Structure 1
Amino acid sequence: MSQSPAVPLPNPKERRRLREARSLTQAEVAARIGVSRETVRAWESGRTHPRGQRRVAYARFLAGLEEERGAGVPAAEVSAGASAQARPEARVVRPEAQAARPKDQTPPGACVRPEARERSSAPTPAQVQAEAEARAEERARARDLAEARAKAGAEAKAGAEAEAGAAASAAPEESLTAEAAFDALCARTAPALVRQAYALTGRRALAQESVERAFQLAWQRWPEVAVDRDPAGWVRAAAHEYALSPWHRFRPAHRAPDVPPADKTQRALLAALLDLPPAQRRTLLLYDGVGLGLPETAAETEASTPAAAGRLLHAREAVADHLRAADEPPEVLHEHLGALGGTERLQVPRPARVRIGSERRARLWTRVAIAFTALIIGATALTVRTAPTRYEPPQSPGRAISGVPPRMGPGPLSYEDEVLREKLRKEPARGPARLVPTAE
């Protein structure tokens, strides 16, 4: 068996240039050829060179990149076609096909049997069939290439149209003012938020107040909310947190229960929701009502994904038990949550009113902060003015001294006083004895 000559390859720099021109990584090239990424790196650096069937496969892959570089075919399709042609399997050419094939069309790396070289070149039926199969294969390959080019052109055209539509739709948004953008956000999301707050609290007035406060806070922080990737989610989180605040239970207006919905199904669902803990209620509403994914629901409720999944399971079981007790099917929970509050007369906050209320509240709190700061400054100044400038030690408390008779008025002397008086009279001089001079 004769061995075919080595297939020529571009230099290492040209190999790397061809790969980078088609935006392919070394790992992708290695996957197409059937080798490791380190092997492709060694081929491109020139440390090693491919041999045998790997050399043939790599040469065909690079040739395909070179031919399709200017055709506009995506790199993934070019790599797929090259991979289909570059299978590292040994090919044994039939003697009839080798005899019918010209010498310059012998595939590189093919193994030709020696007896095929000795036979006559006269065409035989087997040779004609082999040649027809080869031509059919070439036509199928050309057809696949044409389809790939047409598909690439269609995708490029669709991408250009999508970019043009996105640019056209983004142009009006860029020209909107802050007030117009806020009004559009409020008009689009406020009705759904009011129904969600009603499902969380079961109170119409509190639901409307929660949504209005959330939009007021959003208008105060509009530079932050406007650049957020989900402004509606930002407002929704603020509304839900305000609606579920535990301080509302101390308000006199919220001590009495609100009027339940007129519809039987909504009344049973609302009762089931209000019996749940606030965390489970919010998780169920976000996942089954709003339609968020489990990771997004866990992030908005500030919980881990397993914790959110556990809350969701417990909430579903409890709501299903309530609905079965009320003879209602629990299978359409998503539809029930979406329709909850739809028949109630819930007022949606108007954008202009929300903006005016937000600005008034901001001015009020600013004035309160200024007044409180002025009060602190005045109290500090008064303390500095009236505080003592030197240290005055406190006077020590008095104490009784033993041995000194108490002061008394005139009257009879006691026995002790008489003894003392006699003793003093017997002394030679008045005063202590140590002060009297003595004769030497």
Structure 2
Amino acid sequence: MTQSHAAPLPSPERRRHLRETASLTQAQVAARIGVTRETVRAWESGRTTPRGRRREAYANLLTSLTKADKVTNPQEAAPPTQAAVYLDKGPKSSRVAVIPAAAPAGPAPADTPVAPATIPAEPAPAAAPPSAPLTPAQAFDALYAFCAPALVRQTYLLSGRRELARESVERAFQLAWQHWPEVAVDRDPAGWVRATAYEYALSPWHRFRPRFRHPEPPPADASDRALLDVLLTLPAPRRRTLLLYDGVGLDLPETAAETEASTPTAANRLLHARAAIAARLPELASPAELHRRLAEVASAQRLRAAKSPTVRMGGEQRARFWTRAAIAFTVAIIGATALTVRTAPTRYEPPVPPGETVQGVPRRAAPGTLSNKELKLRAKLRSETQHGPQRLIPLPE
């Protein structure tokens, strides 16, 4: 088959969209075609293009997924009323489900392969009118329901603390609800929340909190404890890069973008993290085995996230509290300023100069007996005070 007669392929974004709509992971697509998961990831990112029989098999699979997508979502031909939201579903896959404007109430789990629908022989019934768009609260609840369980497990691997993992996810979603107009139109809202949760979980200020000064009980299994100990000894940037690439399943450019680093830097961190784990645990030298063990360690812990309405109401209460605190602080500043202006002097009053030492003043003599001259002077003063001339008194006119 020549290149001119090769089966056409959709764009890389369309390929990933078709796979996620069918609730298939990259590993499941790779197993159907007979390639590795990294090859499918490269095809969906546009770095490489399949050739030969693999291209034909991949094109046939995408064609069947396209037909299934048209049958299950007939309203996609019209302009969408709400942008699709990519979500996380567990540490074994990065984004495996989308919620369109009229999404079904219960999408299939990411780990369960869904058989693509086929076109029936008889004409399909008329499609039902599209349902109303999701409200902000409903869209937030859907995002939380899909992302929160996976994020709690991921942040536990980052911090090694169960309570901090739950707190990080709740704070991240509270910030997402406060900035919901921005998060709702983001290309990857799950990535927005994940980055916020990771930043909060890796904050160095938690070490000064009294509740986090003492370590939590480690996992019961010895192998899980060993892997978690190795992870916690890694520097925070390498730990985060390893979790995103080998745990969540992001490719290297997406990992570099989320960690705010260049692609070579992210690759260097990943290699050093894998080398440190392989030196302590040689059985985890394989990336596939490391991915499996990370999923097992995170899934073995009983980490339950709070209910979505509770997180949403908690975020609103926190926002109201800080808003009222800011208003009270502003009123206090205004009152202090007004009091200062009211009591401040209206004219300049020079300060009293400090005292100066005067030289040449004779020392005061001690009191003693009066001389004859002083006695005569005293008698004269006393007589003039009583019988002297009349004083001049000013009279009113």
Q: Structure 1: which amino acid aligns with 2:167?
A: E
Aligned counterpart, 2:308: 351
Aligned counterpart, 1:435: none
Describe the shift of the 1:329–1:281 C-alpha distance in structure 2 as closer, same or farther (beyond 3 A).
Answer: closer
Deviation (angstroms), 1:330: 2.8
Describe the shift of the 1:171–1:381 C-alpha distance in structure 2 as closer, same or farther (beyond 3 A).
Answer: closer
- Equivalent-residue separation in structure 1 for 2:309 and 2:198 (angstroms): 22
Q: Is the 8 A contact 2:277 2:284 kept in 1?
A: no
Deviation (angstroms), 1:197: 0.5
Question: Is residue 149 of structure 2 the alignment partner of residue 194 of structure 1?
Answer: no
Q: Structure 2: which amino acid aligns with 1:342?
A: S
Deviation (angstroms), 1:310: 1.6
Q: Structure 2: which amino acid aligns with 1:264?
A: A
Say which structure, 1 or 2, has more relative contact order (CA 8 Å, 6+ apart): 2
Deviations, residues 98-125 of structure 1 (Å, cap 9, x unaligned)? xxxxxxxxxxxxxxxxxxxxxxxxxxxx
Q: Structure 2: which amino acid aligns with 1:341?
A: A
| Structure 1 gap ranges (5+) | 1-31, 33-75, 77-150, 413-440
Aligned counterpart, 1:366: 323
- Equivalent-residue separation in structure 2 for 1:256 and 1:402 (angstroms): 72
Describe the shift of the 1:272–1:220 C-alpha distance in structure 2 as closer, same or farther (beyond 3 A).
Answer: same
- Equivalent-residue separation in structure 2 for 1:170 and 1:286 (angstroms): 25
Aligned counterpart, 1:330: 285
Deviation (angstroms), 1:175: 1.4
Q: Structure 2: which amino acid aligns with 1:166?
A: E
Deviation (angstroms), 1:241: 0.6
SS at match of 1:232: helix
Q: So what's the TM-score if we normalise by structure 1?
A: 0.55
- Equivalent-residue separation in structure 1 for 2:358 and 2:229 (angstroms): 83
Deviation (angstroms), 1:264: 2.7
Deviation (angstroms), 1:248: 0.8
Question: Is residue 214 of structure 2 the alignment partner of residue 256 of structure 1?
Answer: yes
Aligned counterpart, 1:241: 199
Deviations, residues 119-144 of structure 1 (Å, cap 9, x unaligned)? xxxxxxxxxxxxxxxxxxxxxxxxxx
- 1:100-139 aligned within 5 A: none
Deviation (angstroms), 1:167: 4.3
Aligned counterpart, 2:335: 378
Deviations, residues 227-271 of structure 1 (Å, cap 9, x unaligned)? 001010001001101111111111121111111112233221111
Q: Which moved more, 1:257-266 or 1:242-251?
A: 257-266
- Equivalent-residue separation in structure 2 for 1:314 and 1:170 (angstroms): 40
- Equivalent-residue separation in structure 2 for 1:384 and 1:276 (angstroms): 57
Deviation (angstroms), 1:339: 2.2
Deviation (angstroms), 1:406: 2.4
Q: Tell me the C-alpha RMSD between the 2 structures.
A: 2.8
Q: Is the 8 A contact 2:241 2:266 kept in 1?
A: yes
- Equivalent-residue separation in structure 2 for 1:211 and 1:390 (angstroms): 59
Question: Is residue 102 of structure 2 the alignment partner of residue 172 of structure 1?
Answer: yes
Deviation (angstroms), 1:221: 1.0
Percent identity between matched residues is 64
Q: So what's the TM-score if we normalise by structure 2?
A: 0.60
Aligned counterpart, 1:104: none
SS at match of 2:360: coil
Describe the shift of the 1:171–1:196 C-alpha distance in structure 2 as closer, same or farther (beyond 3 A).
Answer: closer
Describe the shift of the 1:204–1:391 C-alpha distance in structure 2 as closer, same or farther (beyond 3 A).
Answer: same
User: Where is the helix percentage greater, Structure 1 or Structure 2?
Assistant: 1
Q: Is the 8 A contact 1:211 1:349 kept in 2?
A: no
Describe the shift of the 1:339–1:370 C-alpha distance in structure 2 as closer, same or farther (beyond 3 A).
Answer: same
Deviation (angstroms), 1:305: 1.9
- Equivalent-residue separation in structure 1 for 2:101 and 2:204 (angstroms): 44
Question: Is residue 115 of structure 2 the alignment partner of residue 205 of structure 1?
Answer: no
- Equivalent-residue separation in structure 2 for 1:230 and 1:320 (angstroms): 32
SS at match of 2:102: helix
Q: Is the 8 A contact 2:101 2:134 kept in 1?
A: no
